[in-house]
Amino acid sequence: MRRAVCPGSFDPVTNGHIDIVSRASTLFDEVTVAVGVNKSKNRLFTVEERIDMLAEACRDYGNVKIDTFQGLLVDFCKDRGIHAIVKGLRAVSDFDYELQMAQMNSSLVDVETVFIPTTPEYSFLASSLVKEVARFGGDVSSLVPAHVLARLTARLAERRDAEM
């Protein structure tokens, strides 16, 4: 079986992520979307919330499952018998760091990184920008699924109330 992983923080999942996951699901028999758990980073959503949103966003793709990983991505790949890491490339600026990570990862275990070019309409899209635009009242409804927008709006309102 050809297995692949789509790793990321997914705080929260965007239409750009879904674009990559859906296309990976046509290339591999099984795709695991793996949420990296990094306790030192301040996230807007908990790991459970990010998993819930991903599960909802990916429910139409029968060969996609959601999981989490801590530590090195290559250890997760080794444990699960995964030999391909799928990454979306939005622009040339993504490439330098992604190439370095791909080469480091393949030097550690038997794993290939497969780059999928992001659909142009999502080439500017990043979870961090979605959060920033939404925080200041900008319209991000075309950038995330409706259920993510609802959670994002609610969470930002909670944060605003807590700050007052």
Applying CB under 6 A, the residues found at the interface with ligand PNS are: 7-9, 36, 72-73, 101, 104-105
Using CA atoms, how far apart are residues 150 and 163, in angstroms rounded to an integer?
A: 20
> Least Å distance between CB 38 and ligand PNS?
7
Q: Exposed, middle or buried by CB within 10 Å (0-12, 13-18, 19+), for 67?
A: middle
> Least Å distance between CB 163 and ligand PNS?
25
In eight-state DSSP terms, residue 142 is T
How, if at all, do strands 30-36 and 64-69 pair? parallel
Question: Is 65 known to be catalytic?
Answer: no
Residue nearer to ligand PNS on the CB measure, 12 or 140: 12
Question: Is 41 known to be catalytic?
Answer: yes
Question: Is 83 known to be catalytic?
Answer: no
Question: Is 90 known to be catalytic?
Answer: yes
> Least Å distance between CB 137 and ligand PNS?
25
Residue nearer to ligand PNS on the CB measure, 18 or 73: 73
Give the residues across from 6 on adjacent strands: 33
Neighbours of 4 (CB within 10 A): 26
Using CA atoms, how far apart are residues 100 and 39, in angstroms rounded to an integer?
A: 24
Q: Which position among 25, 50, 127, 131 bears the catalytic label?
A: 127
Residue nearer to ligand PNS on the CB measure, 6 or 140: 6
Residues with catalytic roles: 17, 41, 90, 127
